[in-house]
């Protein structure tokens, strides 16, 4: 009785697998189980095939295990010596051949998908080219065909293939948007990786760095924003427009001298740090302070910018930006006004 219950309990996790896979769990903009694009769909297709085969295998193993453990349990007073069987050639061949067949069933579509996903669209005229560069702990996105750069928010036109070229500026990172596609590492130049995906639906998808890259690895997030074609073109134009600097000339001077020696806005500044053009309309500050103030874990842009500028190390430990107050000598008031200016720097 007790045993039956225990073996039934062994099956519970399995039932849970089925339940959760079928229900599709996790956030739509984040979960591998709720794919929003063809690349993620083909990975999930294989995962479903694999898990089905594997659940069958598990069911067989678990049932035999439960059966032998219950049926052949030594009863009190049972002292005999069971027959010393040597093995069975037939049975052993059986459980060599069946797994082999199962492996082939999985291997064929695996190989096919490997080559299908290997298609990187780098020669495709219609694809949008994006150069991704990983930095400790932020992402740079360059559109070579348009001559613009942005950071943290990757804006793409929905439905189009995006041809990526990925490198890193320092240590290895890995570029991953679970709901759109599997991940790919960013290696240093010389071992540049190419791959592609597309997002048929408009929306914002969460991306992550998946390769340990230092203390703030876990905070190296980004967003992929799929917009309509028109919106995309507007965004490109706005991004190309000349820089908007703070109205107050003194503040503009400070901003240029202190911030633009690493960052860029419009046509000014350098690209040592993330490009700040139009940061007021981004999804997040520093990739993790969400600008969505309708949600409890978000806050208005301006507040997030202030949080960041007053305590960069507190937000992202180990990041390489100098501290505005300690290292750049800005006053609290200047910091707040720069935050206010940046929050108002919106595209469109």
Partner 1 sequence: MDWIMTVDHKKIAILYLWAGGLFFGIGGIEALLIRWQLIKPMNDFVDAQTFNELITMHGTTMIFLGVMPIIFALMNAVIPLQIGARDVAFPFLNALGFWTFLFGGLLLNLSWMMGGAPDAGWTSYTPLSGTAYSGTHGVDFYTIGLQIAGLGTLIGGINFLATIITMRAPGMSFMRMPMFAWTTFITSAIILFAFPAITVGLVLLTFDRILGANFFVPGGGGSPVLWQHIFWIFGHPEVYILILPAFGIISEVIPTFARKRLFGYSSMVFATILIAFLGFMVWAHHMFTTGLGPVANALFAVSTMLIAVPTGIKIFNWLFTLWGGSVRFATPNLFASGFIPTFTMGGVTGVMLASAPADFQFHDTYFVVAHFHYVIVGGLVMGLFAGLHYWWPKMFGRMLSETLGKWTFWTFITGFHLTFFVQHFLGLMGMQRRVFTYLPNQHFDLLNLVSTIGAGLMGAGMLLFLANVWITSRKPMDAGGDPWEDGRTLEWSIPSPPPEYNFKQTPLVRGLDAFWKEKMAGNKGMTPAEPIGSIHMPSATPLPFIMSVGIFIAGLGFMFSRDQFVSGFVSFLFNNYIVTALGLLITFGAMLVRSLYDDHGWHIEPEELEGR
Binding site for Cu ion (CB under 5 A): 173, 209, 213, 217, 220
Question: Which residues are 227's β-sheet partners?
Answer: 157
* Nearest residue (CB) to partner 1, 100 versus 272: 100
Q: Please state the closest distance from residue 44 (CB atom) to partner 1, in A.
A: 8
* Nearest residue (CB) to partner 1, 296 versus 348: 296
Q: Which does 283 bind (CB under 5 to 8 A by kind): Cu ion, partner 1, none?
A: none
Q: Which does 44 bind (CB under 5 to 8 A by kind): partner 1, Cu ion, none?
A: partner 1
| Strands (DSSP E) found in 187-274 | 193-197, 203-209, 222-227, 264-265, 268-269
Compute how many other C-beta atoms are within 10 angstroms of the C-beta atom of residue 4: 10
Q: How far apart are CA 138 and CA 326, in angstroms?
A: 22
Q: Which does 306 bind (CB under 5 to 8 A by kind): partner 1, Cu ion, none?
A: none
Q: Which does 73 bind (CB under 5 to 8 A by kind): Cu ion, partner 1, none?
A: partner 1
Contact indicator for 254, 334 with CB cutoff of 8 Å: yes
Which residue's structure tokens are 């408009």?
A: 202
* Nearest residue (CB) to Cu ion, 135 versus 337: 135
Contact indicator for 256, 270 with CB cutoff of 8 Å: no
Q: Please state the closest distance from residue 289 (CB atom) to partner 1, in A.
A: 10
Q: Please state the closest distance from residue 329 (CB atom) to partner 1, in A.
A: 26
Give the distance from CA 261 to its chain's centroid. 30
Q: Please state the closest distance from residue 239 (CB atom) to partner 1, in A.
A: 27
Q: Please state the closest distance from residue 280 (CB atom) to partner 1, in A.
A: 22
Q: How far apart are CA 176 and CA 77, in angstroms?
A: 61
Q: Which does 329 bind (CB under 5 to 8 A by kind): Cu ion, partner 1, none?
A: none
Quick one: 126 exposed, middle or buried, by C-beta within 10 A (0-12, 13-18, 19+)? Answer: exposed
Q: Which does 142 bind (CB under 5 to 8 A by kind): Cu ion, partner 1, none?
A: none
DSSP track, 32-51: TTS--SHHHHHHHHHHHHHH
Q: Please state the closest distance from residue 186 (CB atom) to Cu ion, in A.
A: 9
φ, ψ for residue 257, nearest 5 deg = -70, -40
Q: Which does 58 bind (CB under 5 to 8 A by kind): Cu ion, partner 1, none?
A: partner 1
Q: Which does 20 bind (CB under 5 to 8 A by kind): partner 1, Cu ion, none?
A: partner 1
Q: Please state the closest distance from residue 77 (CB atom) to partner 1, in A.
A: 11
Query: The tokens of 137 are what?
Result: 């702990």
Compute how many other C-beta atoms are within 10 angstroms of the C-beta atom of residue 99: 12
Q: Please state the closest distance from residue 302 (CB atom) to partner 1, in A.
A: 20
* Nearest residue (CB) to partner 1, 113 versus 307: 113
Quick one: 226 exposed, middle or buried, by C-beta within 10 A (0-12, 13-18, 19+)? Answer: buried
* Nearest residue (CB) to partner 1, 157 versus 182: 182
* Nearest residue (CB) to partner 1, 84 versus 348: 84
Q: Are strands 264-265 and 222-227 parallel, antiparallel or unpaired?
A: unpaired
Which DSSP letter does residue 258 get? I
CA angle 207/213/215 to nearest 5° reads: 100
* Nearest residue (CB) to Cu ion, 309 versus 315: 315
* Nearest residue (CB) to partner 1, 92 versus 293: 92
């Amino acid at each position: 009785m007790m045993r039956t219950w225990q073996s039934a309990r062994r099956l519970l996790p399995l039932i849970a697998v089925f339940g959760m896979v079928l229900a599709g769990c996790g956030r739509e903009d984040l979960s591998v189980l709720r794919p929003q694009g063809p690349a993620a769909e083909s990975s999930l297709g294989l995962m479903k095939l694999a898990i089905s085969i594997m659940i069958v295998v598990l069911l067989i193993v678990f049932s035999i295990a439960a059966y032998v453990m219950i049926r052949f349990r030594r009863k009190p007073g049972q002292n005999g010596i069971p027959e010393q069987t040597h093995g069975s050639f037939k049975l052993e061949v059986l459980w060599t051949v069946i797994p082999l067949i199962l492996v082939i069933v999985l291997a064929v579509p695996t190989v096919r998908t490997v080559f299908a996903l290997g298609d990187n669209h780098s020669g495709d005229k219609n694809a949008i080219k994006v150069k991704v560069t990983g930095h400790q702990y932020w992402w740079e996105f360059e559109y070579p065909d348009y001559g613009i750069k942005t950071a943290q928010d990757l804006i793409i036109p929905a439905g189009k293939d995006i041809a990526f070229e990925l490198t890193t500026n320092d240590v290895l990172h890995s570029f991953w948007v679970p709901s759109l596609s599997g991940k790919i590492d960013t290696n240093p130049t010389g071992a540049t990786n190419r791959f592609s995906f597309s997002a048929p639906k408009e929306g914002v998808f969460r991306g992550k760095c998946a390769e340990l890259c230092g203390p703030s690895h876990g905070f190296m997030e980004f967003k992929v924003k799929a917009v309509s074609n028109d919106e995309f073109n507007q965004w490109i134009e706005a991004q190309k427009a000349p820089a908007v600097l703070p109205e107050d000339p003194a503040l503009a001077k400070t901003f240029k001298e202190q911030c633009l020696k690493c960052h860029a806005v419009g046509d000014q500044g350098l690209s040592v740090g993330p490009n700040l053009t139009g940061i007021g309309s981004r999804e997040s500050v520093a990739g993790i302070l969400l600008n969505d103030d309708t949600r409890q874990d978000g806050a208005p842009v301006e507040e997030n910018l202030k949080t960041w500028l007053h305590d960069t190390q507190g937000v992202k430990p180990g990041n390489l930006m100098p501290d505005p107050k300690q290292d750049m000598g800005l006053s609290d008031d200047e910091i707040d006004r720069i935050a206010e200016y940046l929050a108002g720097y919106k595209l469109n």
